[in-house]
Structure 1
Amino acid sequence: MNPFHLFLLVATLFAMEFAVALVHKHVMHGFGWGWHRSHHEAPKGAGWERNDLYAIVFAAATILLFMVGASRPWLWWIALGITIYGMLYGILHDVIIHRRLPLAWRPKSGYLHRLATAHHLHHAVRTRENGVSFGFLYAPPVEAIRRELRGGDRQP
């Protein structure tokens, strides 16, 4: 791996959090709410939700990037960064936070606890409007999210 490819990989991992937060806020909680609603209403645990269609669409797009990247190595490394982000998301969001696989362990402190708490606060809003904390691998301080939920940080 040359340094430029490593840079692309790491930059893609960071850029994905920003891009995914925007997609989550403006697509999933916007015109794509029809699919995403199931994630806010469905009982947590194993089983498929309509929201899982997003994972299929995003995976298909990434596979296409890998295919095009076969002749453009820089694009292949971006696709790999997206894939690694998706794997981290799957483990943290689906397994640890939403417990879609049986796992007895729950984070009690540190980064994972903050991430889980922020995401549970995101789910406290069951509608597409007035959501908070749209990122998946970064969570603002929990107290800031609680203030926003109470309306203290809302813009007019």
Structure 2
Amino acid sequence: MISALGYILLGFALMEFSGWFIHKYLMHGPLWMIHKTHHQPSSSFFELNDLFSLLFGGIAVVLILVGVEELDYRFWTGIGISLYGMLYFVLHDVLVHRRLKWFDRPKNPFLKGIFKAHQAHHRTNKKDDAVSFGLFVVPKEFFKHEEK
């Protein structure tokens, strides 16, 4: 069971690192034509950028399916990727972008930091001017205490 938890954490951590890397170097690089739909106003619920979620989700499903018989590292890593995806959906799509209006703006300092970092990321709709590319790997200046 300890190894299962380790692989879940590994899958989760790999998604944060690879998500940061892919976002910074591919989405804001050669895949900008797809990702730019996320940086532009849209009247549609879905955007072309959602293809990335389908890709990452597909990887998780494949890992789960090929590892389910033995409940081996592939299964648990796929579970970790899936958990990351679910948390990403809640934090990014629901809390930050309000694609579903389930919550108000965050009051928790950690969630406020994530929220502010993502707002800073979207201050530009250009490929090269963005900051803060991770969900949790966020520059610490976004977590500074606000004076009242």
TM-score of the pair, normalised by structure 2: 0.87
SS at 2:138's partner residue? Answer: coil
One-letter identity of the residue aligned with 1:82: I
**Aligned partners of 1:105 and 1:47: how far apart in 2?**
19
Give aligned pairs, total: 142
In the alignment, structure 2 segments of 5+ residues that lack a partner are 144-148
1:69 paired with 2:67, answer yes
Show the 5 A alignment for 1:50-129.
Answer: 50-72=48-70, 73-129=72-128
SS at 1:19's partner residue? Answer: helix
One-letter identity of the residue aligned with 2:21: L
**Aligned partners of 1:132 and 1:85: how far apart in 2?**
21
**Which residue number in structure 2 is paired with residue 38 of structure 1?**
37
**Aligned partners of 1:91 and 1:26: how far apart in 2?**
24
**Which residue number in structure 1 is paired with residue 45 of structure 2?**
47
TM-score of the pair, normalised by structure 1: 0.83
RMSD: 1.9
**Aligned partners of 2:136 and 2:15: how far apart in 1?**
10
- Cα 1:46–1:136 shift into 2, 3 Å: farther
Decide whether the 8 Å contact of 1:16 with 1:85 is kept in 2.
yes
One-letter identity of the residue aligned with 1:57: L
